[in-house]
Amino acid sequence: MIPISRPSLGQEEEQAVLDVMRSGQLAQGERVRRFEEAFAKATGGGFAVATSSGSSALFLALLAHGIGPGDEVITSPLTFIATANAIIHTGATPVFADVDDSLNLSLEAVSRLITPRTKCIMPVHLHGNPCHLVSLREFAVRRGLIVIQDACQAIGATVAGQPLGTYGTAAYSFYATKNLTTGEGGMVTTNDSHVAELCASLRHQAYADKPYVHDRVGFNFRMTEMQAAIGLVQLNRLASITERRRRIASYYDEVIPPAQFMRPRTAPDAGHVYHQYTVRVSSSASGPRGGRDRDKLRQSLSGAGIGTGVYYPVPIHRQPAYQMYEATRCPEAECASADMFSIPVHHSLSDAEVETIGTEMRRLCDA
């Protein structure tokens, strides 16, 4: 089976972990600091703060920007549930705006949901495909709103040739399936020194200037030295990782007919990093557009030894945990969740595996 994802860790990562183990310094230390500095430089942020996960990075970024009870944060329903959970944990209220054909936030949908309580917009760069960040930020600035990017799937992505961190605060994930992995872990990048300082304080129980003196209620969201050591090795390969994923995606673009398998739109100025390569089942495919035909196609690919995934099959406003949003309507997100699926695009795929996937996708079109 060709898996939908496959972490790529080698001898350099092994040696980096061994070096940490032999050093005796396992908790947050010098390697974390070096990883933060290198990551900030690579992603365009002036500052970077390493965390225990992408979820904790999102949560800390919100807190550091003053998001809390009484505030509303507009975000996408078509994302991993952690995006909304981070908002809930601050005491704020998530407001779900529909997506457009890029599967990212629709600015038109966002504009209809602005209220006096709106304080922040949290766009998601779904599948590594950057959202309409420039126009969204311009919209937010005109209304005095904060923008915090959920870039957990978009390490290395760019907009107008600039890394995402150039455009303000962003949160990243280093989960095992991400383009750059430390197993678990996350990062907040920001150009605001106060936000960076507050994130760094809160992740470590909000230590003040004196040992065991704390100036607020904090958390234990630290990154370990072993995670940072792996991250430093992976970061050195990020450019080649991104290039490999883009080459695979370009091949798929050529060999998979768009008439049968539509692709989410990518903006002309967006540098997609293909955390996932996602297709949508066209109405001209083997039956009415929708989940049942999508699932039959996935079964066929599985029978040919190709793993697939759906990211995500249930929009957040339809999740059991979010029953209070049952009246919310996001038809584009709901449609996408029923007709999209992803095929392997990870950088550890061999050329033979990539060709097999392309051939099987073409065969489905001809069947």
- pLDDT, tens digit, for every residue of 289-315? 455 689 999 999 999 999 999 999 999
133 lies in some domain: yes
**Of the residues 236, 270, 302, which one is the last residue of a structural domain?**
236
> How far from each other are the two terminal CA atoms of the chain, in whole angstroms?
22
- Nearest C-alpha neighbor of 74 from the set 9, 115, 121, 117: 121
Same domain, yes or no: 151 and 212? yes
Which CATH number do you get for residue 315? 3.90.1150.10
78 lies in some domain: yes
**Of the residues 217, 236, 255, which one is the last residue of a structural domain?**
236
- Nearest C-alpha neighbor of 157 from the set 5, 42, 77: 42
**Positions in the chain whose pLDDT score sits under 50:** 284-289
pLDDT at 291: 58
DSSP letter assigned to residue 320: G
Please list the helix, strand and coil fractions of the chain in percent, rounded to the nearest 5, in that order: 45, 15, 40
The phi and psi torsions of 178 (rounded to 5 degrees) equal -75, 165
Which CATH number do you get for residue 29? 3.40.640.10
The phi and psi torsions of 336 (rounded to 5 degrees) equal -60, -40
- Nearest C-alpha neighbor of 298 from the set 258, 331, 253, 338: 338
CA angle 234, 6, 18 (to 5 degrees): 45
Model confidence pLDDT, tens digit, residues 152-197: 999 999 999 999 999 999 999 999 999 999 999 999 999 999 999 9
**Of the residues 236, 256, 289, which one is the last residue of a structural domain?**
236
What residues are paired with 74 via a beta bridge?
Answer: 95, 121
Same domain, yes or no: 243 and 218? no
DSSP letter assigned to residue 65: T
Same domain, yes or no: 124 and 154? yes
Radius of gyration of the chain (CA): 21
163 lies in some domain: yes
What is the domain count for the chain?
A: 2
3 lies in some domain: no
5 lies in some domain: no
Same domain, yes or no: 220 and 250? no
Between the CA atoms of 30, 35, 41 and 46, what dihedral angle is there, to the nearest 10 degrees?
-70
Q: E-strand spans in 195-336?
A: 261-262, 270-271, 277-281
Length of the chain: 367
169: left (phi over 0), alpha (psi -120 to 50) or beta: beta
6 lies in some domain: no
DSSP letter assigned to residue 97: P
Same domain, yes or no: 255 and 279? yes
89 lies in some domain: yes
- Can you spell out the DSSP letters for 216-251? S---B-PPPHHHHHHHHHHHHTHHHHHHHHHHHHHH
Same domain, yes or no: 299 and 228? no
Same domain, yes or no: 359 and 294? yes
Same domain, yes or no: 201 and 325? no
Q: Are β-strands 158-159 and 270-271 bridged in parallel, bridged antiparallel, or unpaired? A: antiparallel
CA distances from 207 to 35, 60, 92, 202, 211 (A): 21, 15, 25, 8, 7
Same domain, yes or no: 269 and 213? no
- Nearest C-alpha neighbor of 4 from the set 311, 230, 254: 311
222 lies in some domain: yes
- Per-residue tokens: 280: 């949508």
Query: What domain range includes position 303?
Result: 239-366
- Whole-prediction pTM value? 0.96
Same domain, yes or no: 219 and 268? no
Q: Are β-strands 340-343 and 270-271 bridged in parallel, bridged antiparallel, or unpaired? A: unpaired
